[in-house]
């Protein structure tokens, strides 16, 4: 009998090639150095809200925990995992530092309009946490299993010609997320998940990936990518 994490991964195998497509376009693009900053920025929006999303899930899980073993186990995991993902005093601050290093003004980035796909991604997560079950957050976190790989990042740095400082968090997470994904899968397999929990986690992961595919394609498949704060010299 496959485990819950194996069942989830099998479903995500179906969307993984499409999830790789925008990055493949970036890799092959003659203007990769120009497109990488807005490409990274699209996922940096998610980085900025990951801690607040986990905190919302933790808050909801604590409320449900007395009568809900899945919520209790989730709360225990998030209490451990949130500090691991802080990476400094300000949630997402390290990612903003990387954007600055490749020419994106982080103040303008924060003040600019949120891409609609990213707004939908964030809104969906909050909706599921408060109206379905906070276990949905594990679908978002499952994207840790789709971390970048160090040798590929080294090639990308070379290909884009951008400062290495713009890749610090990607390089860090290429190492960290191997362990984080393994831990997440252990949690998934240990929780007393019912089929409806597994469906919600899978939907959360697939929908998150679909929103990111859409946002990334707006960068790499458009002639003139637009991102708030872009345009400074790196």
Please give the residue ranges that form the binding site for other proteins (CB under 8 A).
Answer: 7, 10-11, 13-27, 39-40, 43-44, 46-47, 50, 85, 95, 141, 143-144, 146-149, 152-153, 155-156, 169-170, 173, 177, 180, 199, 202-203, 206-207, 209-210, 212-214, 217, 221
Nearer to other proteins, 67 or 224 (CB): 224
CB of 23 to other proteins, least distance (A): 2
Nearer to other proteins, 48 or 75 (CB): 48
The burial class, CB within 10 Å (0-12 / 13-18 / 19+), for 154 is middle
CB of 205 to other proteins, least distance (A): 10
Torsion of CA 138, 141, 145, 150, to 10 degrees: -170
Q: 65-94 in b/e burial notation, b at 16+ Cβ within 10 A?
A: beebebbbbbbebbeebbeebebeeebbeb
Q: Whose CA is closest to 19, among 217, 191, 228?
A: 217
State the CB neighbour count (10 A cutoff) for residue 2. Answer: 10
Nearer to other proteins, 66 or 151 (CB): 151
CB of 50 to other proteins, least distance (A): 5
Angle between helices 32-64 and 93-101 (to 10 degrees): 180
CB of 68 to other proteins, least distance (A): 21
The burial class, CB within 10 Å (0-12 / 13-18 / 19+), for 183 is middle
What is the distance between the alpha carbons of residues 119 and 133, in angstroms, rounded to a whole number? 20
| Sign of the torsion angle spanned by Cα atoms 151, 88, 178, 102 | negative
Nearer to other proteins, 24 or 80 (CB): 24
CB of 66 to other proteins, least distance (A): 29
CB of 126 to other proteins, least distance (A): 17
CB of 195 to other proteins, least distance (A): 8
Length of the chain: 234
């Amino acid at each position: 009998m496959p485990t819950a994490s194996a069942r989830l991964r099998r479903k995500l195998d179906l969307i993984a090639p499409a999830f790789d497509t925008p990055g493949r376009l970036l890799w092959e693009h003659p203007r990769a150095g120009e497109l990488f900053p807005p490409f990274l920025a699209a996922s940096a929006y998610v980085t900025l809200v990951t801690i607040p999303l986990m905190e919302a899930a933790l808050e909801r899980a604590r409320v449900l925990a007395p009568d809900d073993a899945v919520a209790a186990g989730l709360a225990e995991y998030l209490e451990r995992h949130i500090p691991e993902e802080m990476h400094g005093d300000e949630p997402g601050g390290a990612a903003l530092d990387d954007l600055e290093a490749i020419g994106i003004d982080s103040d303008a980035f924060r003040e600019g309009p949120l891409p609609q796909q990213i707004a939908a991604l964030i809104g969906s997560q909050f909706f599921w946490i408060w109206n379905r079950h906070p276990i949905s957050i594990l679908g978002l976190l499952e994207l840790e299993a789709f971390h970048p790989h160090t040798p590929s990042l080294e090639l990308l740095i070379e290909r884009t010609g951008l400062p290495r400082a713009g890749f610090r968090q990607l390089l860090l997470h290429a190492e960290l997320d191997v362990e984080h994904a393994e831990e997440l899968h252990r949690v998934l397999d240990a929780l007393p998940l019912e089929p409806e929990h597994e469906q919600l986690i899978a939907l959360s992961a697939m929908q998150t990936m679909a929103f990111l595919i859409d946002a990334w394609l707006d960068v790499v498949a458009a002639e003139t990518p637009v991102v708030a704060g872009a345009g400074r010299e790196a």
